[in-house]
């Protein structure tokens, strides 16, 4: 090991840029040739060190080459280091970061994107793996890469047994309680004054989101998947704190190129630090590929909701959504989704039917991934509540923009920025509101 490091030190010295004056016409070509030879020697050293299981020495050599000003040299060094870390050290997160750095500079590198998809799958990030495969196919695949893509597309079932993600952000919000700006509420017996906490309230909070999963294989085509997720918005005044948690468990089946998931679920919600709602039921999900660049996703659920504040709002809920995602190029894509929700409550005034349509576009620009989204939803109540003069009818519009800044990544954590505007137009003043919110934080997958 000591001799290997001494040899590596000598090679690193040779690899340092040599500054020469213009004393002769052929001085610069000779310097360039010496630098090229030094890079070749370092690659050879790293290969020999890796063959001798001296992973640390090989890693040091590749990291030095990854700083080379020649894009081809640093690309090759990052790729070899990523493959070594993934295959020998099982350091998948660091390998994924290295491959993403290559794609930031060379987005059409199909083999790199395919390997990133493989590593994402090993980390359990199946959705990210499928997106990378679609992006690779949108960029165009050399004939020698196509069989590899087909193999990985069919082998996404080889996933790690556990994983998760975390997002933490400061969250300024113009309307943290999604309440009306009006100071009065019109009813069939006259106007009522609304208390301050029932009207629009702004605030700065902390947003937390996280999920974790564990997977137990039953056979090559069936897993039992357990998922836990949580979200919270926390404010200085706990009156508007909003917490949610859920557990899901059930089988996930690979049938040909389709993936089918079934799960039983339970969920809890607290508002103002007090119990607000408890629900339980069943959910189902089907994912089906659409050619090389697209995917269709169908989600359905049937749940029973128990309202802890009023039993009149206890309800059965049935939801269905269909979405299509597509990669247009290796760096640009999008999707569209239609959805419907039926809620049958104990009081028909709280029974509603709603439908919506949403779309998004994503674009990778260097080391920044931007997402633009928009959604429209229409809701109607079955009957008029006794107190209100009209039956509730809502039209809700939402637009959002987010950016993940990988340039400032620290380990697995990358900064994320979000901005959204929401407008709900309602026949009932209490539900008529406008909201502008943002988030500045970090996100990571494990």
Answer for the pair 232, 210: CB distance below 8 angstroms, yes or no: no
- Check whether 414 has a pLDDT greater than 80: yes
Residue 148's pLDDT is: 56
Residue 144's pLDDT band, with cuts at 50, 70 and 90, is low
- 188 contact partners, CB below 8 Å, separation of at least 6: 386, 387, 388, 389
- How far apart, in whole angstroms, are the C-alpha atoms of residue 365 and residue 404? 10
**Range in 125-129, 398-402, 404-408, 422-426 the model is least confident about:** 125-129
Q: 310 or 89, which is more confident? A: 310
The shares of helix, strand and coil residues in the chain, as percent rounded to the nearest 5, are 30, 45, 25
Residue 150's pLDDT is: 55
- Check whether 314 has a pLDDT greater than 90: yes
Tokens standing for residue 164? 């998760």
- Check whether 154 has a pLDDT greater than 80: no
User: In which element (H, E) is residue 228 found?
Assistant: strand 222-234
- How far apart, in whole angstroms, are the C-alpha atoms of residue 294 and residue 288? 9
Tokens standing for residue 372? 């633009």
User: In which element (H, E) is residue 84 found?
Assistant: helix 71-84
Residue 41's pLDDT is: 83
- Check whether 222 has a pLDDT greater than 80: yes
Q: DSSP readout, 39-74?
A: HHHHHHHHHHHHHTT-HHHHHHHHHHHTT-SSHHHH
Q: 416 or 133, which is more confident? A: 416
Q: 106 or 359, which is more confident? A: 359
Whole-number percent of the chain with pLDDT over 90: 42
Residue 142's pLDDT band, with cuts at 50, 70 and 90, is low
- How far apart, in whole angstroms, are the C-alpha atoms of residue 217 and residue 4? 43
Work out the average pLDDT over 259-288.
95
Residue 156's pLDDT is: 53
* DSSP 8-state assignment for residue 180: B
Residue 328's pLDDT is: 87
Residue 54's pLDDT band, with cuts at 50, 70 and 90, is confident
- How far apart, in whole angstroms, are the C-alpha atoms of residue 168 and residue 232? 10
The pLDDT tens digits for 172-214 are 999 998 988 887 777 767 677 777 777 889 999 999 999 998 8
Q: 91 or 160, which is more confident? A: 91
In the chain, CATH 1.25.40.10 sits at 2-154
- Check whether 106 has a pLDDT greater than 90: no
In the chain, CATH 2.40.160.40 sits at 162-445
**Range in 151-165, 178-192, 302-316, 368-382 the model is least confident about:** 151-165
**How many whole angstroms from its chain centre is CA 248?**
19
Residue 397's pLDDT is: 98
Domain 2-154 indexed as CATH 1.25.40.10? yes
Q: DSSP readout, 317-358?
A: EEEEEEEEEEESSSSEEEEEEEEEEEEEESSGGG-EEEEEEE
Residue with tokens 């809502």: 394
If one counts every other C-beta atom within 10 angstroms of the C-beta of residue 363, the result is 16
* DSSP 8-state assignment for residue 195: P
**How many whole angstroms from its chain centre is CA 445?**
8
- Check whether 12 has a pLDDT greater than 70: no
Tokens standing for residue 176? 């943290």
Across the chain, mean pLDDT equals: 84
Residue 31's pLDDT is: 41
Instruction: Report the CATH number of the 162-445 domain.
Output: 2.40.160.40
- How far apart, in whole angstroms, are the C-alpha atoms of residue 180 and residue 203? 15
Tokens standing for residue 342? 């039926």
* DSSP 8-state assignment for residue 416: E
Strands (E), 351-392: 352-365, 368-381
Polymer length of the chain: 446
Residue 376's pLDDT is: 98
- Check whether 283 has a pLDDT greater than 90: yes
C-alpha separations of 33 from 22, 26, 36, 328 in Å: 16, 11, 5, 41
* DSSP 8-state assignment for residue 30: H
The pLDDT tens digits for 344-388 are 999 999 999 999 999 999 998 878 889 999 999 999 999 998 888
Residue 34's pLDDT is: 42
If one counts every other C-beta atom within 10 angstroms of the C-beta of residue 28, the result is 11
- Check whether 151 has a pLDDT greater than 80: no
Tokens standing for residue 345? 């409550």
């Amino acid at each position: 090991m000591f001799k290997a490091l001494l040899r590596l030190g000598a090679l690193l010295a040779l690899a340092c840029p040599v500054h020469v004056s213009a004393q002769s016409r052929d001085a610069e070509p000779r310097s360039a040739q010496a630098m090229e030879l030094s890079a070749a020697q370092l690659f050879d050293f790293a290969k020999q060190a890796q063959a001798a299981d001296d992973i640390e020495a090989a890693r040091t050599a590749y990291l030095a080459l990854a700083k080379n000003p020649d894009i081809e040299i640093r690309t090759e060094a990052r790729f070899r280091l990523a493959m070594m870390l993934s295959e020998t050290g099982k350091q998948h997160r660091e390998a994924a970061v290295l491959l993403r750095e290559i794609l930031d500079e060379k987005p059409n590198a199909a083999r790199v994107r395919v390997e990133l998809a493989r590593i994402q799958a090993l980390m359990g990030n199946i959705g990210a793996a499928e997106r990378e495969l679609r992006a690779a196919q949108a960029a165009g695949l050399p004939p020698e890469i196509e069989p590899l893509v087909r193999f990985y597309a069919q082998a996404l079932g080889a996933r790690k047994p556990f994983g998760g993600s975390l997002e933490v952000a400061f969250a300024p919000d113009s309307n943290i309680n999604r309440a009306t700006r009006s100071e009065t509420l019109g009813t069939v017996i006259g106007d009522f004054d609304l208390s301050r906490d029932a009207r629009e309230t702004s605030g700065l909070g902390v947003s937390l989101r996280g999920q974790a999963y564990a997977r137990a294989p039953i056979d090559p085509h069936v897993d039992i998947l357990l998922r836990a997720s949580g979200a919270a918005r926390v404010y200085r005044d706990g009156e508007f704190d909003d917490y949610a948690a859920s557990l899901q468990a059930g089988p996930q089946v690979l049938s040909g190129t389709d993936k089918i998931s079934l799960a039983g679920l339970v969920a809890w919600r607290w508002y103002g630090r007090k119990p607000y709602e408890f629900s339980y039921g069943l959910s189902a999900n089907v994912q089906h590929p659409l050619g090389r660049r697209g995917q269709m996703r169908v989600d359905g659920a049937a749940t029973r909701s128990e309202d802890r504040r009023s039993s009149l709002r206890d309800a059965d809920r049935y939801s269905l959504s269909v979405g299509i995602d597509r990669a247009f190029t290796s760096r640009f894509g999008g999707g569209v989704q239609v959805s419907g929700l039926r809620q049958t409550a104990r009081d028909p005034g709280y029974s509603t039917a709603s439908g919506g349509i949403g779309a998004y576009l994503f674009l990778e620009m260097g080391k920044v991934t931007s997402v633009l989204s928009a959604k429209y939803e229409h809701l109607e109540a079955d009957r008029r509540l006794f107190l209100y003069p009209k039956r509730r009818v809502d039209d809700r519009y939402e637009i959002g923009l987010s950016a993940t800044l990988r340039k400032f990544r620290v380990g697995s954590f990358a900064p994320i920025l979000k901005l959204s505007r929401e407008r709900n137009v309602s026949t009932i003043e209490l539900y008529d509101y406008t909201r502008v919110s943002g988030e500045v934080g970090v996100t990571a997958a494990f």
